[in-house]
Copies of this chain bind each other. A is one copy, B any other.
């Protein structure tokens, strides 16, 4: 009889197809967010000019690998839940706030863009954590770890903007 009704937390079980669909949907959105972040961070780890910009460039350059890793984790999880990782045709850019500024010395523009991007990610990942609770603990645990990365990153850039605010530049 224990075979008839699967354990509630076994998301891969046959009778949990609907829940899987919902989780895949959430993961797919997260996947595209990370892919776009990779693009945005490549550009912003190279474009900005200036000594102060170096700190931001180096920080973003290190994050490229991290964010790509997140994307690959999301993609692998989609596959594990019997979904299909979407192709490049499905990509639609959303990070209007992380496009190159007019002037490459405008570092404030980049910092604010990063904060906005991270805020969006944090909100979405918090949602996944809520929705997977008691349904898919593996996805939940994986997303909590990724959320930690994003929170730390957002907090760092909030510190950056504070300095510019103190100087009256932001």
CB within 8 Å of B: which residues of A? 2, 6-10, 12, 35-36, 38-40, 42-43, 46-56, 64, 68, 71-72, 75-76, 78-80, 82, 84-89, 91, 93, 95-96, 98-100, 103-105, 107, 122-123, 126-127, 129-130, 133-134, 137-138, 140-142, 144-145, 147-148, 151-152, 154-155, 158-160, 162-164, 166
How far, in angstroms, from A164 to B91 measured CA to CA in the complex? Answer: 31
Known interface pairs A75-B46, A88-B95, A138-B144; A162-B105 also in contact (CB < 8 Å): yes
| Complex: chain B residue closest to A79, CB-CB | B46
Q: Which of B38, B56, B79, B100 contacts A51 (CB 8 A)?
A: B56
Residue of B nearest to A146 (CB): B138
Which B residues touch A130, using CB under 8 A?
A: 7-9
Interface contact A51-B160, CB-CB below 8 Å? yes
Chain B residues whose CB sits within 8 angstroms of the CB of A145 once the complex forms: 141
A99 → chain B, closest Cβ, in Å?
3
Q: What is the bound-complex CA distance between A145 and B40, given in angstroms?
A: 26
Do A10 and B123 have beta carbons less than 8 Å apart?
yes
Contact A87 B98 (CB under 8 A): yes
**B163 and A39 contact, CB distance less than 8 A:** no
Q: Closest chain B residue to A3 by CB distance? A: B123
Q: Which residues of B contact A152 (CB under 8 A)?
A: 76, 80
Query: What CA separation (Å) do A49 and B80 show in the bound complex?
Result: 12
